[in-house]
Amino acid sequence: MDFNVKKLASGAGLFFTRAVQFTEEKLGQAEKTELDAHFENLMSRADCTKNWTEKIYRQTEVLLQPNPSARIEEFLYEKLDRKAPSRITNGELLGQYMQDAAKEFGSPYGSTLIKVGECERRLGAAEREFLQTSAISFLTPLRNFLEGDWKTISKERRLLENLRLDLDACKTRLKKAKLAEAKAAMAPDFQETRPRNYVLSASASALWSEEVEKAEHELRVAQTEFDRQAEVTRLLLEGISSTHVNHLRCLHEFVEAQAAFYKQCHLHMQELQKELGRLPNAFSLNSTHSMAAAGSSAEGVSSPVETDTLKIEEVQAPATGTRKAKVLYDYDAADSSELSLLADELITVYTLPGMDSDWLIGERGNQKGKVPVTYLELLS
């Protein structure tokens, strides 16, 4: 118990000494050991790295999981060292609802819902894979730096600051001891108004000499500890460069995962557009055109656009009504009656009497064929 009391008293005294030194430095009454410019630059760079890494980490979390409640739940599972339950993505849930609704409708709308629902579920699955990959390859390294490396750096920097305060306190103590020693060693002045006891003065001089030797020893010890800690802290701060290299590699992996995710989503949507383009017109079932086609067949009248397969060689562009159109997506022709398209190219388009409103005739040079309207942006 006595040992613990002494240790507590010693710790309190050390804390008080540091507090006094810190206060005097702030008031300009004590000197402060300044670190070299390179060391200051290393600390500034480390602080900058920590601050921006923390902001990037938090915002990436928001990007990957916009729901704050879900983020809190994942945080609690992580702190409890338990695996978070698998959560269905919004895209997967939407796709499931669409497919369930299609079973109740049983109409062209329902069949379209099945196609779109399947696509949404694939998009949701791709999103879940992207979230998992990003969390492992990007978020985890950033969190490891903030919760591991940075905490170690902060701990060593605090220790270095405490040792600096001890060093400067030793310097101040030595300076005061030397002033007192010099005053005690002054030659006697017999003209003093109040004569001193020079026997006691000689004894005090000897005591102050011992105090100076003790202060010098403490200063050497404090300087050695400070230099050792400064070197340890410097090595940790220089390791920030390795941290940047590691985070750069993780950033590349995050970009690759994001690019793969968006590419996969684009492919899914392109495939969905192709499938929807081959379905019957969802806006009008074209019953009027079907009846007109039946009547024309009965009268022996034939038209290129009324047959199952469009006879492209018989199609002639109208004198008026043609327009320019920009292709939005690549399109592969399903048969010889269709025209394959490349994104961003310009083609001439027009419609023919009795033609499905979801399709237009497209011409590019000597080539022509049916093209889906959903793949085009009509220009004025």
The neighbour count for residue 268, using CB atoms within 10 Å, is 18
Q: Distance (Å, rounded) from C-alpha 177 to C-alpha 85?
A: 68
pLDDT of the residue at 116:
92
Q: Which CATH superfamily is domain 323-379 in?
A: SH3 Domains (2.30.30.40)
Which two three-digit tokens encode residue 208? 């102050």
pLDDT at 255 over 90: yes
Whose CA is closest to 167, among 36, 26, 21? 21
Residues 37-75: tens digit of each pLDDT: 999 999 999 999 999 999 999 999 998 888 777 777 776
346: left (phi over 0), alpha (psi -120 to 50) or beta: beta
Q: At the top level of CATH, which class does the domain 20-188+210-278 belong to?
A: mainly alpha
323-379 has the same fold as 20-188+210-278? no
- pLDDT for 6 equals 60
pLDDT at 264: 93
Q: What is the mean pLDDT of the chain?
A: 80
Q: What is the pLDDT of residue 64?
A: 87
Q: Do the Cβ atoms of 185 and 205 come closer than 8 Å?
A: yes
Q: In the structure encoding, which two tokens stand for residue 216, read together?
A: 């010098």
DSSP per-residue letters across 232-299: HHHHHHHTHHHHHHHHHHHHHHHHHHHHHHHHHHHHHHHHHHHHHHHSPPSS---HHHHHHHHHHHHT
Q: Which residue ranges make up each domain of the chain?
A: 20-188+210-278, 323-379
Give the bridge partners for 364, in sequence order.
367
Q: Which conformational region is residue 195 in: left (phi greater than 0), alpha (psi within -120 to 50 degrees), or beta?
A: beta
Give tens-digit pLDDT for 238-254.
Answer: 999 999 999 999 999 99
H/E run at residue 5: helix 2-26
Eight-class DSSP state of 187:
P
Of 138, 141, 119, 118, which Cα lies nearest the Cα of 130? 138
Rg (CA), the chain: 41
Please tell me the distance from the alpha carbon of residue 189 to that of residue 200, in angstroms, as a whole number. Answer: 15
